[in-house]
Structure 1
Amino acid sequence: MKKLTLEMLAKMADVGVATVDRVLNERGGVSPATARKVLQAARQSGLKRVLPEAYNHPWQIEVILSANGSFFFRQLAADFSHIADGLGYRRLTLHRTFIPESQPETLARHLEACSRTRDGIMVFAQDYPAIHEALALCKARGVPVITLVTDLPDAPRLCHVGINQLQAGRTAGLMMGKMLATPGEVIMVSGRFDYRAHRQRIEGFRQVMQQRFPHLRLREALAGQDDRALISGLLERHLAGAENVVGLYNTGMGNTEVSRALARHQLAGACLYITHELYSLTRTLLTQDVLSLTIDQNARQHAQLATDILLRYLESGDAPDTYVTGNVDFRLVTPENQH
């Protein structure tokens, strides 16, 4: 009988020679279904070598995050890496990609590429037609996707992992209204409107303020677009002509610019200021009594939940509840409980 070669085995399993080599030598990077085909062909052909008892496929997982340089995404990326390291290289291989928020087409193309090479994807993505199309392609190819932080409810995804952003905005509005007894104006600074998270934060904040605190007048939200220079310019124009600004709510980046603008207009500590995330700057602003309250999203819980959910689905087919399974609890941090 002719000696069985890798080329012959690859033809029997209808895969490439490199795939056969990876399976037989347990190098990973091959889906479980393909690995089973190769091993079955090897057994049926009577290949004279020790075959893997169970093929340990390290799942190829892609995490796509914003490249905006904010503390939250830097911390989230670090938390994903730490969790992956703890699980070990035989369990999963984590690939991290950072894409600027101003490049949705780049993100869409990257999602399409990942649908050919990854077992699962976790992504921070905006509402954009090309991204929805790319997510539909991922589903068609059997690649589960988890949305992180900001959801895309009309797109095909396995589930969403994040805080309730509308609830976070409503909580900020409640705290603002309860803490301000005197009438005056409240300024809202929003991150990018093409991200559902920022729209929901503004919507929730506005709902509560208008429903419960008529003594406070809301200005139209300033579209800061997570652009520091733009935020600084918008605040300068709006604060220069303001007579009675008593509150400011910032949903996204730009806390350095906000605090500097308040200081320039003698409003630091006098204007009730609420923002998101707890990190070195917001800790300092809390200590200095410039910042009244911050709403922290808990990056570590995002990373842990998303990883656990995706692995359970890949390994046992355990389908999560779209929102309940991935719900993350946010935390209110004041100068008294920041440590």
Structure 2
Amino acid sequence: MKKLTLQMLAKMAGVGVATVDRVLNDRGGVSPETVRKVLQVAREAGLKRQLPEAYRQPWQIEVFLSGNASFFFQRLTRDFSAIASQLGYQRLTLHRTCIPESQPEKLAQAIVESSQKRDGLIVFGHDYAAIHQALAYCQAAGVPVITIVTDIPDASRLCHVGINQYQAGRTAGLLMSKTAVTGEVIMISGRTDYLAHRQRIEGFREAVTARAPHIRLREVLTGEDRRERIRGLLDDALRHAEEVAGIYNTGLGNSEITSVLQRHGLPGNCTFITHELYSLTRTLLCDDVVSFTLDQNAPQHARLAVDLMLRHLETGYQPEMYSDGKVALNIVTAENLD
């Protein structure tokens, strides 16, 4: 049999001779995917020499999260840090970058730049053209991307990690239909250009309409995650309401909603459903102001995203788009608080 040369291996692997040389001599500077491919070709061709490990340096993973001050993203940032510490610096280095949700172009540029120096990206972003283009760039460069919390449909991504937002809305609608008395229910939406809030409202509306003929749904108050706007819209809605049976809030503003409810003498007298368990919602549950809070389970987001990324980088595993990264939704009441 002819002696294997670098040129022969390069041709079989579909890469350059210099790339094969770097891989076989463990010089670095080659993407993990290409390293795996070259080493696999070398093994299958029967190259008689000791081969380096596929990747001995810690994986470089960047996490892009929202720069807003919400409890959920503060918690998620801490959870990613804890996961990285548990796995150890020899296995991965986790880089965290927070960018305001209102700056998709800035996020897109950061994603492109990061893809040139990281092995994988975990991205929280919204359904904007600039983000789609950035993720397509990553795919072309062979850098895997996992979206987290809010899905970006049809974007180039390895998989999505998060709860089913539409299902969360339907769950809230079921709870409302079972607990609210006859009357009007007011829905308060976060930013309507964000898919998660639209899906929650859609699911809630469909579940209530199907299950609760005794409930009249008012038009959605588009709070747009602006606290004073939420306060003003809800106050005006309550002044013109006949009999308020419930409140459903998909986003921030629980403190403002509570103050308006207090002004109208409604705490404890209507079903109030919101999202995320944090210090304020915990207090409101205990004080019988909030009836249920649907928690997204931030720790599971971090664990699943990192586990799936490492599994893909280390073994080439291709996760299913949604089922592998599905996060369990927690329904919290005053009776099951930890």
- Whether TM-score is above 0.5 comes out as yes
Question: For the residues of structure 2 that align with 1:69 and 1:263, how far apart are their CA atoms?
Answer: 25
What's the TM-score once normalised by structure 2's chain length? 0.85
Aligned twin of 2:248: 249
Q: Output aligned runs, 1:1-339, within 5 Å.
A: 13=18, 31-32=31-32, 55-181=55-181, 183-339=182-338
How far is the alpha carbon of 1:229 from its aligned partner?
2.2
Q: Deviations over 1:232-284 (max 9, x none)?
A: 22222222222311100011111111111111111111121000111111110
SS in 2 for 1:94: strand
The Cα shift of 1:291 comes to 0.5
Instruction: Measure the CA separation in 2 of the matches of 1:332 and 1:154.
Output: 30
1:194 is displaced (CA, Å) by 2.2
**2:19–2:30: 8 Å Cα contact kept in structure 1?**
no
Number of corresponding residues: 311
Cα separation, partners in 2 of 1:264 and 1:329, compared to 1, 3 Å: same
Equivalent position amino acid for 1:166 in 2: Y
Residues 320, 36 of structure 1: alpha-carbon distance in 2 compared, 3 angstrom cutoff: closer
Shift of 1:326: 0.4
The one-character-per-residue Cα deviations of 1:314-339 (angstroms, maximum 9, x if unpaired) are: 11100101111001111111111112
On the 8 A contact 1:30/1:57 being kept in 2, the answer is no
Shift of 1:97: 0.9
* Equivalent pair of 2:180/2:270 in contact (CA under 8 Å): no
Cα distance in 2, alignment partners of residues 220 and 54 from structure 1: 57
Structure 2 vs 1, CA of residues 135 and 273 (structure 1 numbering), >3 Å: closer, same or farther?
Answer: same
Q: In the aligned structure 1, how far is the partner of 2:30 from the partner of 2:70?
A: 35
Name which of structure 1's ranges 230-239 and 287-296 shifts more when overlaid on structure 2.
230-239
Letter in structure 1 aligned against 2:214: H
Contact 1:29-1:57 at 8 Å conserved across structures:
no
Once the two structures are TM-superposed, the CA of residue 308 in structure 1 deviates from its matched residue by: 0.2
Shift of 1:35: 7.4
1:39-83 deviation line (CA, Å, top 9, x unaligned): 9xxxxxxxxxxx987751211111111111111111111000000
Alpha-carbon deviations, 1:144-185, whole Å to 9, x = none?
Answer: 11111111121111111111111111010011011023x211
Q: Kindly state the Cα deviation for residue 84 of structure 1 after the two structures are TM-superposed.
A: 0.4
The residue identity in structure 2 corresponding to 1:315 is E
Q: Percent identity?
A: 64
Unaligned 5+ segments in structure 2 are 1-16, 40-50
Quote how far apart the aligned CAs of 1:115 are. 1.7
Tell me how far apart the structure 1 counterparts of residues 149 and 35 of structure 2 sit (CA, whole Å).
34
Amino acid at match of 2:261: L
Instruction: Structure 1: give runs of 5+ residues left out of the alignment.
Output: 1-11, 40-50
Question: Residues 309, 196 of structure 1: CA spacing in aligned structure 2 closer, same or farther, 3 A cutoff?
Answer: same
SS at match of 1:169: helix
User: For residues 317 and 32 of structure 1, what CA distance do their matches in structure 2 show?
Assistant: 10
Q: Distance in 1 between matches of 2:34 and 2:145?
A: 21
- Does structure 2 conserve the Cα–Cα contact (< 8 Å) formed by 1:29 and 1:59? no
* Contact 1:146–1:159, Cα closer than 8 Å, also in 2: yes
Q: 1:165 to 1:57 in 2, by over 3 A?
A: same
State the Cα deviation string for residues 271-318 of structure 1 (Å, max 9, x = none): 210001111111100010000001111100110001000000011100
Q: C-alpha separation between the residues in 1 aligned to 2:277 and 2:140?
A: 39
* 2-structure distance, mates of 1:34, 1:171: 45
Q: Output the aligned Cα RMSD.
A: 2.6
Q: Residue 69 of structure 1: SS of its match in structure 2?
A: coil
